[in-house]
A = this chain, B = another copy of it.
């Protein structure tokens, strides 16, 4: 794994982004932002699942005004997402948005951008320059062609151009995203940009799709980038309950050995050797550990022959025998339980271990 890229650090509320800060996990609400109650309810569920920064769409002034009421009821920083209308960007900051996501080039000219930047300085709010492969400046697409994995130049140039607009206004509290719905274009664009500036980078694949396709596309693109030390915060984008985005996000960080949150389930796919209903047990254990925060390795293995050995790094595990299950800790068997009682006994032991670990 490559050492993490050195970047400037910015603050989104009390969450540091870039430098040596932990890679922050974000999401975005899909409620009507003007509906404070449903938006807060969704953010509360996201906070509980580990979301560290939340973004809301601000399509009109009522949404910008709602930000104040939303912020009063949540404890993670809130980012306002604005397209085209500079007044919404200013209104969002006046109502307490701790960061804004804009495309500086599409706010209607330099004077309007200058007003937004003045407000950002006044409120000490950073800006994400959010480049999206589908909404690039026409001259860049003409010059470089539509961005591809081989030639992501139009995206990179768009980012640098938008960042320069901010720099011209003496503004440097910036992070950058470069999203494409194609994983390899996303990877190429970030890799190229990474060498051309030292701003922190917000990673993401846009319109990634449903739970499985979106999880694969995001895991591949962000996995490659983070493995190369590129990326300071990210959002997994899924056409699904945003809580799933957070869940996938932490699985991603765990798989890269970057951050741990909650127990990890090691479970075998079962094969012709398995003599127990392993899927049922694995699913119930998975549900059970979903809301736990203590890092722990939990194993559910189909057979006694290989199970405990193959899952020897597990803190606690269960392996199936013929009508029985064997409980093991760190590769050593220590209890035999009838299949009927297996789940309840195992969950009890698991809970005791979590309590001990605090």
Residues in A291-349 with C-beta less than 8 Å from chain B: 299-301, 305-306, 309-313
Residue contact B210 to A272, C-beta cutoff 8 Å: no
Residues in A237-251 with C-beta less than 8 Å from chain B: 237-240, 242, 244-245, 247-248, 251
CA distance A311 to B221 in the complex (A): 18
Size category, A interface: 35 or more
- Across the interface, A282 reaches (CB within 8 A) one of B239, B282, B309, namely B239
In the assembled complex, which residues on chain B have CB atoms less than 8 Å from the CB atom of A34?
272
Produce 1/0 per residue, A245-273, CB < 8 A to B: 10110011001110000001111111111
Task: Decide if A3 is an interface residue (CB 8 Å cutoff).
Answer: no
- Across the interface, A239 reaches (CB within 8 A) one of B183, B207, B212, B268, namely B268
Residue contact B209 to A264, C-beta cutoff 8 Å: yes
A153 CB, nearest partner CB in chain B, Å: 17
A61 CB, nearest partner CB in chain B, Å: 13
Task: Decide if A206 is an interface residue (CB 8 Å cutoff).
Answer: yes
- Measured CB to CB, the nearest residue on chain B to A267 is B239
CA distance A183 to B266 in the complex (A): 12
Given A32-B272, A209-B286, A212-B244, 12 extra CB contacts under 8 A: A30-B271, A31-B272, A83-B305, A149-B257, A181-B311, A182-B313, A183-B256, A209-B265, A210-B283, A215-B215, A220-B223, A240-B279
Q: What is A's interface to B at a CB cutoff of 8 Å?
A: 1, 28-34, 39, 56-59, 63, 81, 83, 132-135, 146, 149, 181-184, 187, 206-217, 219-221, 223-224, 227, 237-240, 242, 244-245, 247-248, 251-252, 255-257, 264-274, 278-279, 282-283, 286, 299-301, 305-306, 309-313
